[in-house]
Structure 1
Amino acid sequence: MVAKVIIVLLSLIYPLIVSAEYQSSITLEKYVKTITVNADGTSEAITEALDRIETDKGITAFSQSELSFIKGMERLEILDAYTITPSGKKIKVTKKNIRERDDSTERGADIFTDTRHKIIIYPEVTVGSKLYSKIKETNFKTKFNGHFIFSEFAIPYFKYDYNEINFIVDKRIKLNFDSKGFEGGFIKETESHKYYKYTYKQTSATPSEPGMVSLYDTSNYLVVSSFNNYAELGEAYQKLAKSKAKPTGFIQGLADGIIANKGGGDKRAEAKALYEWIVNNIRYVAVYVGNGGLEPHDSESIVKNKYGDCKDHAVLYEALLAARGIESSPALINLGEAYTLPKYPVISPQNHVITYIPEFDLYVDATAQSVPFGDIPFGDRGKPTVLTALKKTGNTPAMKASENIVRTTVKFKVQPDGKIDGISTVAVSGPIESNYRANQVSNVGKDDNKVTAEILSAYGETGTGRLQFTKPNAFNERYEENGVFTLDPIANFPGPAAMTIPVGLTQGRIYSLSKDKPLDSRKYPYSCFGRTYLDFLTIEFPKKTKITRIPSNVSYNKDGMSYKATYKKKDNVINVTREMVLDNKNMFCEAEREAQKHAFLMCYKKT
């Protein structure tokens, strides 16, 4: 029997996302905060807020208000709270509807903290209701001795009818102010205090966008800080952390033992050995008690407990390096989508600590258990850093397409009954390798059938198979994924049919990008990174199969995005070569890149 097959590629052009007119779920009708700042940086704030519920989503999101405070450093008092119904009726929040609870866990790790949360449960909330609260916050212990910091970033998803922030500042402490979109400034002074007032209005609201960068990079803001620059912030952090990284006799012995077990080597080899010991022996557990959100534990206790958070991992690594005569510095960084720093230091958006080794001009994240030495996780890349011991700022490297390569090789063999046997290899090089390692951590020891089913289902395929991959923490081995599989028929075979090129037990990166529907337009920059995908595919059909059509070759190269696909048929075998290069100098793309993506994806129509 002669089977007639037309090989076509799945069309990658989808209808563009068209969003209905966005409506803010809440309007901040009136918000007035007055902060009294003392000479030692401690403060007291009184906040009155009146919010108007605009949609059903607003009811779900805001009928309860959650406020947090650090028990050993702050007090939080709810002075008043009530609902005003659309008819004007005022309904007080009773004491039983003000709850208090401990902090919850995050990142899937154990977290111990004295952060507390007070929850206001508003009664009879409907669309059109107004929610009032009056809150008193007392900061009786500062995060950095003698310093005051404050930041307010406007949320573009909501409307602001009136927002007012006042400062009454003791003259003995000097504050720096920086703002965007906020109006106001210095008002007056008395013998003992200076007075400042800032106001803000936002008459329209815009929705969030998929993958957009942090609001720290895009929003209007008000930043207030007693730090004049980031060198001063670094010095303040060092006062908390430096003594904790002192290489005691215990730490010295540990460092020497680690190096001896690895057989020695040059200083870079020593730094690598110490890093690998930490990621394999110290698990991530956060203990935020008192100033634990900023102040690390001492290195010796971290080793004995065998756990710590990011600051603790960095402190331990610094101590072990120092024991071997290698200088390093903590590096404060954002682990998220924030790519800029405010003019004056206010801690945010810095929420993570890694290590910088000047001798090698190298950043190292000792919490990253699936990242080889010399690389850092995706979330650390392309970010500004505060190098606290060096009293300066720096930047982590981004990801270049030329060094970030995923090479996929697959041999498909279509059987007479339509099933497809396949052998695949995915070889990964460059910084992106750490993502592949991390993605497979959960598959270590998992049943082969379950792993296979999960991968195939992502591409609408079914079948059986086995995937073998380099152990995530086998840092001295090149990372590869090797699959052997049999797919259930994906077309009416044998018989007249058209079929897409299968994915099988690969990562299907080029296929996956076809699902990245471009928006009509973007307002905000969004996260992206440079990478290269190479596909080398062979599809062999039964000898009597008549192949009547294959896709045309395609070539596109514009705006840092290139795609080339070639298709060759010889007898009953089709060879497919695809190369996609997405180049970008940063870890984010500007909003106008979205319009350029439309033209890029149009090239797939020709395949």
Structure 2
Amino acid sequence: MKFIKILIIVSGFGFLNAQEFAVGNIPSKLTDDAYAVVRKDETKVEFINYDKLKYSNEYVVTVLNESGLRYGFQPLYYDKRMKISKYTAVIYDKDGKEIKKLKSKDLKDISVYDGSALFVDYRLQYYEFTPVSYPFTVQYYQEYTTSNTIVIPGWRAVGTYNLGIENSSYELTNLSSIQIRKKESGFDGWKVNKTEIGNKLNYSIQDIPPVQEEVLSPVLSELSPLVKLIPNKFQLEGVNGSFENWEQFGKWYYSNLLNNKRDLTAKDKQTVSQLISGVSDPVEKIRILYQYMQSKTRYVNVVIGIGGWEPFPASYVGDKSYGDCKALSNYMISLLDYAGIEAFYTIVYGNSSRKQDMDDQFASLQGNHIIVNVPLDEQTIWLECTSQQTAFNYLGSFTDDRYAVSVKPTGAEVVSTQKYTVDQNLNKISGQAELFADGKLNMNFEQEDIGLLYDSASSIYFESEKDRVQSLRSMFSEVPNFDMKNYELTNDRDNAVFRTSIQFESGHYASVVGNSLLINLLPVGKSKTGLKKNNQRKFPFEIRFGYTDVVEYDLKLPNGYKISEKFDNIIYMTEFGNYLLAVKENGDGSLKIHRTMTVKDGNYSKDKFNDFVEFTRKVSSFDNSKVLLEKK
């Protein structure tokens, strides 16, 4: 049975009357289609001084079913700068009757470890609770003080789908003379109560029904109320600082976290000199040194130093041959620096499922990943340093097309990472096929995947032989009686191009209709869709990235057969993309089949969703076009 981790520390906090937590007291509009309901989420923050902050939170959540278990997990991560004064947890049944008040003997304390970490400053406390039945309610209270004040805990009213909110509130009290900057977003369409009197700032929201997730909808947290707070003067792991803009942020970050970290070992310096000896092209130098870094190092998560934001020196990576994104990026920059090439340590939000920008209008400690930015006269090179398999000058969907922040001695600069256009995200199939009178088809083709499509396509290259064959058969499962005779994979990491060459037979590919043959024009590469129209859609939708999909091949017909009638080429153009399917008779009696489909990236209003569904359905229908071949 699944368990829930409940974090706890003993205190004398007095809970309210448990009857308030009876499930029957929850308005039905909050439970309909909900996995859980937040009964109370009350946060209070006191900013006492640049080196002291007090935080408290009471969080009460009713878990309605197994899908809501994750909402009952209220983690407490802590470090050496945090002093926990109270942390309690009580579990109630559906009637609000107390099941268990967790005690000190229930407390477990472990180091945070994600499977690849070596050193971690952060720890957590938790309790494993196996629910006997649903629904149940968990009430937490936590209170702590910390000297790490660079980020003031903010307020996110609604963070996820299928979660009802009964009450959520936030209060900030500024007991210092230090100015606190704030950034509000996502308030439109939400009934947020806000007051700002003297040194107190308050927000609250009540009775928010659960929001249902919709296909291709943005992340809910991007559409709901969010408050970010940053003090102009702060402390991080005993290091004082202040900044009000990105220029000041960059100077502070470089001086305190990056300065004097490019201390390559003598061995690495010698290797760099040998590797680039006689090479004049800067791009080739970068390529050589990047491949050296990949071959020498491996990734581990090292969260240690100033709040987990400070990289290990280049000499550490040189000696140990491992590091995290911070250390490996700094090491790569150090190699380039010794070669006379300027490169910058760049902070970014890494997430493949959605594009998340650094907030260019709100200078603050943000991001969750580090990459390297190498600006040259005619182009900018981007380097992902945590993978031994990533192609040169290739970011992929994890960090592409978003705002990032490059840190320089003179300040930080907001930059845009590599964006792949509709034409650059290319899947192209080209080949030759032969059809026989009994309906069998033989085909040889090569598939090229470029741009963001390279990312997923190339993963098969690193699979075992058995898994490769299984993956390829699954990839082309739409081919009837698919019998793969041979295949070859080519991974061009210098140019981020992945090629898949396949030779296959398909028995009974064509349907025999009397003396004629009925065939589908596209043996491979057909588009599929499972999207359904939604007349009640509430949110806009996003096409994450655009792409071009091409299938082009020559089809040799059986002796004595010809196409029964001229095929009318299909041309279909919409705001979401374009489609072309053309059939041409070659001089030798064979057919040339060409299909091009483009899909445009972008954000679209909710009222256009059904039009997009119709576009995908028509494309899928066109891809299943058939022609009749008859004997001459």
Coarse TM-score class (shorter-chain normalised): 0.7 to 0.9
Moved more, 305-314 or 416-425: 416-425
CA contact (8 A) 2:38 2:61 kept: yes
| 2:506 paired residue number | 487
| 2:152 paired residue number | 149
Identity %: 16
| Aligned counterparts of 1:524 and 1:100: Cα–Cα separation in 2 | 43
| 1:47 paired residue number | 57
Opposite residue 85 of structure 1, the aligned amino acid is D
| 1:466 paired residue number | 486
Q: What is the CA-CA distance between 1:445 and the residue it aligns to?
A: 5.4
Compared with structure 1, are the counterparts of its residues 125 and 517 closer, same or farther at alpha carbon in structure 2 (3 Å cutoff)? same
CA contact (8 A) 1:370 1:438 kept: no
CA contact (8 A) 1:71 1:290 kept: no
| 1:517 paired residue number | 531
Opposite residue 257 of structure 2, the aligned amino acid is L
| 1:579 paired residue number | 596
Opposite residue 423 of structure 2, the aligned amino acid is S
Q: What is the CA-CA distance between 1:252 and the residue it aligns to?
A: 3.2
TM-score of the superposed pair, with normalisation by structure 1: 0.81
Specify which structure has the bigger relative contact order, considering alpha-carbon pairs within 8 angstroms and separated by 6 or more residues. 1
Determine if the alignment matches structure 1 residue 61 to structure 2 residue 51: no
Determine if the alignment matches structure 1 residue 187 to structure 2 residue 197: yes
Determine if the alignment matches structure 1 residue 29 to structure 2 residue 45: no
| 1:12 paired residue number | none
CA contact (8 A) 2:372 2:383 kept: yes
Compared with structure 1, are the counterparts of its residues 294 and 202 closer, same or farther at alpha carbon in structure 2 (3 Å cutoff)? farther
Q: What is the CA-CA distance between 1:436 and the residue it aligns to?
A: 5.4
Opposite residue 61 of structure 1, the aligned amino acid is R
Compared with structure 1, are the counterparts of its residues 446 and 345 closer, same or farther at alpha carbon in structure 2 (3 Å cutoff)? farther
- Structural mapping, 1:323-472, within 5 Å: 323-336=338-351, 337-342=354-359, 343-348=361-366, 350-360=367-377, 361-362=379-380, 363-389=382-408, 390-415=411-436, 418-429=439-450, 431-432=451-452, 434-435=454-455, 438-443=458-463, 449-457=469-477, 462-471=482-491
Compared with structure 1, are the counterparts of its residues 53 and 374 closer, same or farther at alpha carbon in structure 2 (3 Å cutoff)? closer
Q: What is the CA-CA distance between 1:296 and the residue it aligns to?
A: 1.0
Residues 362-405 of structure 1, C-alpha deviations (whole Å, 9 max, x = no match): 13323354444333222222100112214221112322123333
- Find the partner of 1:565 among 570, 581, 595: 581
CA contact (8 A) 2:395 2:418 kept: no
| Aligned counterparts of 2:266 and 2:184: Cα–Cα separation in 1 | 49
Q: What is the CA-CA distance between 1:423 and the residue it aligns to?
A: 0.3
- Structural mapping, 1:201-212, within 5 Å: 201=206, 203-212=208-217
| 2:223 paired residue number | 218
CA contact (8 A) 1:168 1:195 kept: yes
Task: Give the 3-state SS of the residue equivalent to 2:94 in structure 1.
Answer: coil
Task: Give the 3-state SS of the residue equivalent to 2:462 in structure 1.
Answer: helix
CA contact (8 A) 2:304 2:310 kept: no
CA contact (8 A) 1:216 1:340 kept: no
CA contact (8 A) 1:54 1:127 kept: yes
CA contact (8 A) 2:328 2:386 kept: yes
CA contact (8 A) 1:372 1:434 kept: no
TM-score of the superposed pair, with normalisation by structure 2: 0.79
Determine if the alignment matches structure 1 residue 197 to structure 2 residue 213: no
Determine if the alignment matches structure 1 residue 132 to structure 2 residue 139: yes
Q: What is the CA-CA distance between 1:162 and the residue it aligns to?
A: 1.4
| 1:536 paired residue number | 552
| Aligned counterparts of 1:169 and 1:323: Cα–Cα separation in 2 | 47
Q: What is the CA-CA distance between 1:225 and the residue it aligns to?
A: 0.9
CA contact (8 A) 2:572 2:579 kept: yes
- Find the partner of 1:116 among 95, 120, 123: 123
Compared with structure 1, are the counterparts of its residues 476 and 559 closer, same or farther at alpha carbon in structure 2 (3 Å cutoff)? closer
| Aligned counterparts of 2:468 and 2:309: Cα–Cα separation in 1 | 43
Compared with structure 1, are the counterparts of its residues 278 and 546 closer, same or farther at alpha carbon in structure 2 (3 Å cutoff)? same
Moved more, 403-412 or 516-525: 516-525
Opposite residue 83 of structure 1, the aligned amino acid is I
| 2:27 paired residue number | none
Determine if the alignment matches structure 1 residue 105 to structure 2 residue 114: yes
Q: What is the CA-CA distance between 1:206 and the residue it aligns to?
A: 1.5
CA RMSD of aligned residues (A): 3.4
| Aligned counterparts of 2:565 and 2:40: Cα–Cα separation in 1 | 66
| Aligned counterparts of 1:593 and 1:381: Cα–Cα separation in 2 | 26
| 1:7 paired residue number | none
Structure 1: give runs of 5+ residues left out of the alignment. Answer: 1-20, 189-193
| Aligned counterparts of 1:317 and 1:27: Cα–Cα separation in 2 | 47
Compared with structure 1, are the counterparts of its residues 200 and 477 closer, same or farther at alpha carbon in structure 2 (3 Å cutoff)? closer
Moved more, 592-601 or 79-88: 592-601
Q: What is the CA-CA distance between 1:67 and the residue it aligns to?
A: 0.7
| Aligned counterparts of 2:533 and 2:297: Cα–Cα separation in 1 | 43
CA contact (8 A) 1:73 1:290 kept: no
| Aligned counterparts of 1:228 and 1:477: Cα–Cα separation in 2 | 40
Q: What is the CA-CA distance between 1:316 and the residue it aligns to?
A: 0.8
| 2:100 paired residue number | 92
Q: What is the CA-CA distance between 1:137 and the residue it aligns to?
A: 3.6
| Aligned counterparts of 2:323 and 2:345: Cα–Cα separation in 1 | 15
| 1:242 paired residue number | 259
Task: Give the 3-state SS of the residue equivalent to 1:332 in structure 2.
Answer: strand
| Aligned counterparts of 2:220 and 2:365: Cα–Cα separation in 1 | 15
| 2:4 paired residue number | none
CA contact (8 A) 2:77 2:122 kept: yes
Residues 532-586 of structure 1, C-alpha deviations (whole Å, 9 max, x = no match): 22211333443356865786421112215110111346797443211112234x6
| 2:91 paired residue number | 83
Moved more, 325-334 or 483-492: 483-492
Structure 2: give runs of 5+ residues left out of the alignment. Answer: 1-30, 232-242, 626-632
CA contact (8 A) 2:392 2:496 kept: no
Q: What is the CA-CA distance between 1:257 and the residue it aligns to?
A: 2.6
